[in-house]
Amino acid sequence: MAEVIVTVSGKGGVGKTTATANIGMALASMGLKILLIDGDVGLRNLDISLGIQDRIVYHFNDVINGMCSADSAIVKDEKYIGLCYLAAPQNITGAEVNKEGFKEMVDKLRPRFDYIIIDCAAGIDDSFSMCAGAADKALIITTPELISIRDADRVAERLESMGITTVYLIINRINIDMIKKGDMIDIDTIIGTVAVPLIGAVPEDVGIIISNNKGRPLVLRPRTRAGTAFLNIAKRLTGEKVPIMADEKKGFFSFFARKR
């Protein structure tokens, strides 16, 4: 029976879709059955990160409205047997989606998967209430910028008010050189500001941009630091004890080991 996880952020462009694609691919590579649902109504792009944009015929609103079966709308990854994707509609807004219908659809799909991850749009409006309303747990994504961190804190409050209490923080696009120079907010400050436990930190990596363009998540190349970071987040989600950034014996990331 699937656990349903939503990836959220207050600020846009912080890496929700990248995290969803990479964590989903990592979980599938462990032999788990994964469904990634694109919850970014009107502006979907998880299909591009997964490289399956040419195979989409139906979207989840077609399933909710009875236009097609879930099986017709779900696209299976050709390489990873366990990885499936369900697209968001592009021709309507989040306000037009039947949110109860969305939750019902997600609940019906639970028995077929180990994890369902919903990639939410930024902010706390319609996409947020639809996606979070169907989820058990949440991953809040932030970058090490004040604007993003403050918004992450608002999102955490909103999730709590919706009764979602299992929430983890991912700090994305960390630049160690900038932290060393004092040009980027350090990890302890972020953890202190957003009262949500850290599940992973992902370095800034140009490989992420390339992999998003190629449609093959970087986690498929686990020797990269960002790929390793996403793989470790996936392992922690399954309950495996993996020290944060275990590859870093010294330096700023050693803070993480002490925090957990």
Ligand X SMILES: Nc1ncnc2c1ncn2[C@@H]1O[C@H](COP(=O)(O)OP(=O)(O)OP(=O)(O)O)[C@@H](O)[C@H]1O
Which spans of this chain sit near Mg ion (rule: CB under 5 A)?
A: 16-17
- Minimum distance of ligand X from residue 68's CB (angstroms): 25
Q: Among residues 45 and 254, whose Cβ is nearest to Mg ion?
A: 45
Pick one of Mg ion, ligand X, none as the site partner of residue 209 (Cβ within 5 to 8 A by kind). Answer: ligand X
Compute CA distances 45 → 52, 59, 97, whole Å. 10, 13, 18
Q: Among residues 20 and 29, whose Cβ is nearest to ligand X?
A: 20
Closest among 181, 184, 216 to 201, alpha carbons compared: 184
Helix runs in the chain, H state only: 16-29, 46-50, 60-64, 70-73, 99-109, 126-133, 146-161, 176-181, 187-193, 206-214, 225-237, 254-259
Q: Among residues 17 and 232, whose Cβ is nearest to Mg ion?
A: 17
Pick one of Mg ion, ligand X, none as the site partner of residue 13 (Cβ within 5 to 8 A by kind). Answer: ligand X
Where along the sequence are the contacts to ligand X (CB under 6 A)?
Answer: 9, 12-18, 40, 121-122, 172-173, 202, 204-205, 208-209, 212, 226
- Minimum distance of ligand X from residue 108's CB (angstroms): 26
Using DSSP's 3-state secondary structure scheme, residue 83 falls into strand
Pick one of Mg ion, ligand X, none as the site partner of residue 31 (Cβ within 5 to 8 A by kind). Answer: none
Going by C-beta distance under 8 Å and a sequence separation of 6 or more, which residues neighbour residue 239? none
Distance of CA 70 to the CA centre of its chain: 22
- Minimum distance of Mg ion from residue 53's CB (angstroms): 14
- Minimum distance of Mg ion from residue 244's CB (angstroms): 24
Pick one of Mg ion, ligand X, none as the site partner of residue 143 (Cβ within 5 to 8 A by kind). Answer: none
Token duo for residue 7: 């990836």
Residues 131 and 122: beta-carbon distance below 8 Å: no
Q: Among residues 29 and 212, whose Cβ is nearest to ligand X?
A: 212
CA distance linking residue 87 with residue 104, whole number of Å: 16
- Minimum distance of Mg ion from residue 22's CB (angstroms): 13
